Amino acid sequence: MRAVQVSEYVKGPLDLKVSTIPTPAPAADKYLIEIHSAGTNFFDILQIQGKYQHQPPLPWVGGSEFAGTIAAVPSASSSPKFKVGDRVFGAIQGAYATHVLAPEASLLPVPQGWSFEDAAGLFVTAPTSYGALVHRAGVKAGDWVLVHAAAGGVGLAAVQIAKAKGATVIATAGTQRKRDIAKEFGADYVIDYTDKAWPEEVKKLCAAKREGNGKAGVDIVYDPVGMIDTSLKCVAWNARLLVIGFAAGKIEKVALNRVLLKNVSLVGIHWGQYARFETETVGEVWKGIFGLVAKGQFRGTAFKDESFVGLESVPRALQALGGRETWGKVVVNVVGEKAKSRL
Ligand SMILES: NC(=O)c1ccc[n+]([C@@H]2O[C@H](COP(=O)([O-])OP(=O)(O)OC[C@H]3O[C@@H](n4cnc5c(N)ncnc54)[C@H](OP(=O)(O)O)[C@@H]3O)[C@@H](O)[C@H]2O)c1
């Protein structure tokens, strides 16, 4: 098979090379999948540089999110959930390749009517945002939700989920293009958070459009950037602030007196660990997401301003992602035209 194999750590994505290595043999406990599209994540960039918390022994194939078709079922399983030819998406080490082996727990069926491209970016972002907003913050109709970096991977998922649950969404993003995208995916209001006065903008909106305690600010903050401390300036009584990530690169410190004074909750989520500590919630979260998909309330967020075709485009795709040039999910079409003809 062809794969972006890492034999030694590289300085950056543009040093990555595509090579030909043996296709994995069908396994007793795993499915063999023919990959059509691979999603990119910031942690892929850290991993190729040897800077990520999970570094397999060299050599290994980069990438983790993918969508494709089942090429072989686990030989030891008497009742496999998927059959040869089924369209699946999932995440496992080694997605920047034409083939990968994955256990059943890392696979889900591609939603009806979805392309491989959209499905390849679903496995990490959608459940993170659904788990955070629905299970951790208890979002409900009438809430006002502030989504930071709203045009990013988890951000665009959060905008759609909050809207589907009946909330009003204020989206922040750093460029006009990204703010337009957030609006296109349902945000009610957009704010440029590169302007330091953005919390004032949020307060003004809430004062003008909300009633009672809501006049002071939003009920939920969804923060993948590291902006909790500043966001505390524009929250309502009983607000929940979701700590999703630190895309700005700094783990911030928060003035806890504000947490007390405003009667608010700081709430973390580590989605990847639900499979270990809270498996029952994993099923509920996916049931919720597939429900929104079926009702047309959640759609794929694959980045469309540039296309990445073939494994040779993985370096450029990762460069664009790392350079903050993109919105939604940056997806590489691993097999090019062939993938389209199989939809
Ligand atoms: N808690 C969890 O379980 C979980 C799960 C998945 C992801 N995450 C984390 O969530 C964060 C966002 O993930 P994502 O997949 O949405 O990433 P992404 O698609 O790359 O989006 C990140 C966004 O952050 C904004 N940003 C602000 N400062 C930045 C900086 N210095 N460098 C790069 N981007 C910056 C950018 O928007 P603007 O250009 O508009 O500012 C960018 O669109 C990451 O830290 C990730 O590790 C957490």
Decide if 271 contacts 180 (C-beta within 8 A): no
Q: How far is the C-alpha of 69 from the C-alpha of 67, rounded, in Å?
A: 7
Ligand 1 lined by 301 (C-beta under 6 Å): no
Could you read off the pLDDT of 233-247 as tens digits, one per residue? 999 999 999 999 999
Could you read off the pLDDT of 237-276 as tens digits, one per residue? 999 999 999 999 999 999 999 999 999 999 999 999 999 9
Encoded tokens for 121: 């970016």
Q: Do domains 2-122+300-341 and 125-272 have the same CATH topology?
A: no
Q: Determine the CATH number of domain 2-122+300-341.
A: 3.90.180.10
pTM of the model as a whole: 0.96
pLDDT of residue 336: 77
Could you read off the pLDDT of 290-331 as tens digits, one per residue? 999 999 999 999 999 999 999 999 999 999 999 999 999 999
CA of 62 from ligand 1 middle (Å) equals 20
Residue with tokens 């998927």: 82
pLDDT at 158 exceeding the cut of 70 = yes
Instruction: Calculate the average pLDDT of the chain.
Output: 96
Ligand 1 lined by 111 (C-beta under 6 Å): no
What is the arithmetic mean of pLDDT over 150-154? 97
CA of 32 from ligand 1 middle (Å) equals 31
Closest C-alpha to 311, from 8, 35, 125 = 35
Could you read off the pLDDT of 67-111 as tens digits, one per residue? 999 999 999 999 999 999 999 999 999 999 999 999 999 999 999
What is the arithmetic mean of pLDDT over 30-42? 97
Residue 299: how many other CB atoms lie within 10 Å = 16
Residues written for the chain? 343
Task: Please give the number of the atom of ligand 1 that sits closest to the Cα of 328.
Answer: 19
Instruction: Indicate which residue's Cα is closest to atom 29 of ligand 1.
Output: 248
What is the arithmetic mean of pLDDT over 329-336? 94
Could you read off the pLDDT of 111-141 as tens digits, one per residue? 999 999 999 999 999 999 999 999 999 999 9
Superfamily (CATH H level) for 125-272: NAD(P)-binding Rossmann-like Domain (3.40.50.720)
Residue spans of the domains in the chain: they are 2-122+300-341, 125-272
Pocket test for ligand 1, best of 193, 225, 277 (most atoms within 8 A of CB): 225
DSSP output for 262-316: TT-EEEE--GGGHHHH-HHHHHHHHHHHHHHHHTT-----B--SS-EESGGGHHH
Residue type present at position 302: A
Where residue 288 falls among pLDDT bands split at 50, 70, 90?
very high
Task: Please give the number of the atom of ligand 1 that sits closest to the Cα of 175.
Answer: 40
Could you read off the pLDDT of 42-59 as tens digits, one per residue? 999 999 999 998 899 999
Decide if 35 contacts 100 (C-beta within 8 A): yes
Is the link from the previous residue into 111 a cis peptide, with omega within 30 of 0? no
Where residue 341 falls among pLDDT bands split at 50, 70, 90?
very low
Calculate helix-pair angle for 153-164, 176-184, nearest 10 degrees: 30
Ligand 1 lined by 38 (C-beta under 6 Å): no
What is the arithmetic mean of pLDDT over 26-33? 96
pLDDT at 229 exceeding the cut of 80 = yes
